[in-house]
Homo-oligomer: A and B are copies of this chain.
């Protein structure tokens, strides 16, 4: 499976706490290996993910980076591809097949407010999920859903203690003993 990571730009501890947590949880649930973030370092997000990993499995990483530009440049040097999600970009359905075809590792960038021009320049792809203002959480989910072609709906997570058995009504959760 192609390796996918997310980069969340410009996290602010007070304002973005829940949105950045949602981004990390979506990245994990939809099959990314981990999420880098820059801006303010935030132990709370890291704890949220650790708890989810320990209950629901997998080895999703949260990694703080000082310089997002260094990370992007390093990624490209290592022959990875960089995808920037932005309402100004090319509609996802126009390019997703091409992006899927290359097995190079992917870095998917989601911005906060005001993403600098250099990100648009360095990205291999600037991609929109509608050209309307909405949510980086939604954009990331739809992008990964398209990228993994719905297979992410059934991804399994190693070492999970809990697993949901889908039901038409109500909740069924089983405890697993590994």
Pairwise interchain contact A90-B19, C-beta atoms closer than 8 A: no
Query: For A135, what are the chain B residues with a Cβ–Cβ distance below 8 Å?
Result: 22-23, 25-26, 137, 141
Pairwise interchain contact A56-B132, C-beta atoms closer than 8 A: yes
Interface assignment of A113: CB less than 8 Å from any CB of chain B:
no
Pairwise interchain contact B130-A166, C-beta atoms closer than 8 A: no
How many copies, total?
2
Give the residue of B56, B126, B137 whose beta carbon is less than 8 angstroms from that of A22. B137
Interface assignment of A168: CB less than 8 Å from any CB of chain B:
yes
Interface assignment of A171: CB less than 8 Å from any CB of chain B:
yes
Pairwise interchain contact A130-B155, C-beta atoms closer than 8 A: yes
Q: What residues make up the interface of A, taking CB atoms closer than 8 Å to B?
A: 15-16, 18-19, 22-23, 25-26, 28-30, 52, 56, 86-93, 117, 120-121, 126, 128-135, 137-142, 145, 150, 152-155, 157, 163-164, 166-173
